[in-house]
Amino acid sequence: MSEIALRLDGVGRTFRQGERELRVLDGASLDVRPGEIVALVGPSGAGKSTLLQIAGLLERPDQGDVLIAGQSSARMSEAERTVTRRSSLGFVYQYHHLLPEFSAAENIMLAQMIAGKSKPVARQRAGELLEMLGIAERASHRPARLSGGEQQRVAIARAVANLPRVLLADEPTGNLDPKTADRVFAHLIQIARESRIGVLLATHNLALAASMDRAVTLSEGQITDAAL
């Protein structure tokens, strides 16, 4: 089990719309290994964001289980789920969600300090990540002074600062032009590979999906291998 960073085991999720039941996930199963980059594709409304929410322990499934590095979340309390999110999961969204009143470095430091790291340690790690991402000279700049690509690179640095087991990304380059998107994605892959972070990345960009280790499709509530 230690060789599986993320396991979705028969996950089901149903929503009610008035008297109608909408089965979004129906026994969805998937393994993501350490350092593996997996694309999650599927039509709009298929449930990709719901799947990521459940994989990130932000929402509970109606059935099935989510295991992070072999640890079942099925019977975790909310406090235990929060601790697991902080220690083992990272999130990158289409919009960067950086705190506007803090610098690039401070945004990365805060995520670490919340997890219990000292300020000097957090500052050093932030500097290392910004250097790796090619924007060390922007460390003191607030988000409003950063380009879209720079903001998203800071968001990636924040997501991986605590060395999570799993990184969940929802259209992380969707708001960027193709050239910038390729550069940001390359940085994300580099960090994931070097740090052995399993990545599950939802995208509509089939060219991007084809460049990952493998792609899976979410359709009719189930996950199958995608042929791109």
Residues of the chain falling short of pLDDT 50 = 1
In the chain, what are the domains? 6-225 (3.40.50.300)
Burial (0-12, 13-18, 19+ Cβ within 10 Å), 102: middle
List 11's β-bridge partners, or say none. 28
**Model confidence over 173-189: pLDDT tens digits?**
777 788 888 888 888 88
Burial (0-12, 13-18, 19+ Cβ within 10 Å), 116: exposed
pLDDT for residue 1:
41
- Of 227, 88, 218, nearest to 166 by C-alpha is 88
CB 154 within 8 A of CB 108: yes
Neighbouring CB atoms inside 10 A of 22's CB total 12
pLDDT for residue 21:
84
